[in-house]
Chains A and B, each alone.
Chain A
Amino acid sequence: KQEVTQIPAALSVPEGENLVLNCSFTDSAIYNLQWFRQDPGKGLTSLLLIQSSQREQTSGRLNASLDKSSGRSTLYIAASQPGDSATYLCAVSPNTGNQFYFGTGTSLTVIP
C-alpha cells in the first residue's frame, strides 16, 4: 500500500519568506501527484496537479516539483502572505486502480 508522508506537520514563518513544503511517497508507480489547500472547517481546493511525466508545475507564486524515482515532491511558495495560512495536503494517484492516497498535511502559519 502506498504511504504518503508530509513533514513537518506544522510550520510558522514570517510574512515575505519563501518556503518549501515536502511530500514523500513509498511507491514510485504513480499517475500523478496533486497538491491541495484546506482552510479550517472547509473543503479541499486543488492547487496543482503534476503528471508522472512532468517534473514541475507552476501557478502564480506556487511551484510544485516531482521526483518520482526518489518518491518526493515539494511545493515552493514564494513571498509568503498571511492569506497563505492553511493546511497543505498532497495526494498521489497510483497507476493501478482509482484510489488516491493522502498525506496528513502541513499546517502553515504566515505571521504578519
Chain B
Amino acid sequence: NAGVTQTPKFQVLKTGQSMTLQCAQDMNHNSMYWYRQDPGMGLRLIYYSASEGTTDKGEVPNGYNVSRLNKREFSLRLESAAPSQTSVYFCASSQGSGAYNEQFFGPGTRLTVL
C-alpha cells in the first residue's frame, strides 16, 4: 500500500499562474483533506471532503478550489497564484468521522509563488 500520495513534490509558480495539486489514497477512506503548513501557524485546513461527491470549506479556503474526482482522488486548484500561497501543502485521509477518525498524511507539496 502506498498510503497517501501527492504530486508534485515541489513547484515554483509566478504570480497569476494556475496549477493543480493532486492527491490519491489507496486505503479506501471516505474522507480527504487539504491543509497548508506555514511557519508559526501550524496546519490549517483549506478544504475537506467527507465523502465522495461532497466538499466543504475549512479555515482558509480563499483562493483555492477542490474536486473530489472519485473516492481515491482529491485535487486542489490554485486559479491565480499569489505570493501569500507560498506554503507546504499536505493532503490527508481518514476512514470517516468520529472517535475512530485517524488521519493519514501524504509527503507534501512545497510550493513557492514568486
Contacts and interface: CB of A to CB of B under 8 A. Distances in A.
Interface in A14-55: 31-32, 34, 36, 42-46, 49, 51-53
Contacts, number: 67
B105 A31 contact: no
Interface residues of A, number: 26
B98 A46 contact: no
B102 interface: yes
A95 to B, nearest CB: 8
A8 to B, nearest CB: 14
A31 B100 CA distance: 8
A88 interface: no
A52 B101 CA distance: 11
Interface residues of B, number: 29
A89 interface: yes
B43 interface: yes
Interface string B80-114: 00000000001010000111111111111000000
Interface of B: 4, 31, 33, 35, 40-45, 48, 50, 56, 58-59, 90, 92, 97-108
